[in-house]
Chain A
Amino acid sequence: QKEVEQDPGPLSVPEGAIVSLNCTYSNSAFQYFMWYRQYSRKGPELLMYTYSSGNKEDGRFTAQVDKSSKYISLFIRDSQPSDSATYLCATPCSNSGYSTLTFGKGTMLLVSP
């Protein structure tokens, strides 16, 4: 089982909808979670990060961690066509004695006007 799993989508919603993007993770020791956004033909960019359980809000975006079910979510309120992108969740994993980010495969979101 991969450390982080994501449904690849695509997820298609109309403009203004509330979007829920989700990841599951395998190791209950993981405590730090991040969301990256990747527009077509661009590199990913950091969108949000959360540490341990709870919510973090930034404008229209809310990141949520449920450690009991090993589930992380990204909610987008009032979605816009400019939100159309691939969203990747990530968490640090041990690698050669160092800690590096492991990414989910990404969920493609399409917001139609």
Chain B
Amino acid sequence: DVKVTQSSRYLVKRTGEKVFLECVQDMDHENMFWYRQDPGLGLRLIYFSYDVKMKEKGDIPEGYSVSREKKERFSLILESASTNQTSMYLCASSQRGDRYSLYFGPGTRLLVL
């Protein structure tokens, strides 16, 4: 079974803190994604990566950065957390030959106070 794990299920941070969300997949997938999910807004793509050290902006990259130093790991960084970044963050991965079959992690619910 494909497994995508995220470092935390719940996280509480203060405004201005630097926040790291880690995602690891164990199926040698080339593609990795970070989405956020908010009520009434649905799933929105923040960043994606189709290869190691490669990153591309999604629909809402402002206030975020990412790092992909290893194939299995994709990190999302909130440089200076703000209250409007309170959300559910979902990491996903897919293989190159079937890029739209996404495997999602369980999500990290982030609260910024």
Q: Which residues of A contact B (CB under 8 A)?
A: 8, 32, 34, 36, 41-46, 49, 88, 90, 92, 95-96, 98-106
Contacts and interface: CB of A to CB of B under 8 A. Distances in A.
Contacts of B92: 43
18 contacts: A32-B100, A42-B106, A43-B92, A43-B104, A43-B106, A44-B90, A46-B101, A49-B101, A90-B100, A95-B56, A95-B58, A96-B57, A100-B33, A101-B100, A103-B42, A104-B42, A105-B41, A106-B42
B43 A88 contact: yes
Contacts of B41: 105
A87 B57 CA distance: 26
B44 to A, nearest CB: 8
B48 A98 contact: yes
A101 B102 contact: yes
Contact of A44 (B43, B59, B99): B43
Contacts of A102: 45
Contacts of A90: 100
Interface of B: 4, 33, 40-43, 45, 48, 50, 56-59, 90, 92, 99-107
Contacts of A101: 45, 100, 102
Contacts, number: 58
Interface centre among B33, B56, B90, B100 (most CB of A within 10 A): B100
B55 to A, nearest CB: 10
A99 B56 CA distance: 11
Nearest to A2: B42
Contact of A100 (B40, B45, B90, B105): B45
Nearest to A92: B100
Contacts of A46: 101-103
Contacts of B105: 43
Contacts of A43: 4, 90, 92, 104-107
A96 to B, nearest CB: 5
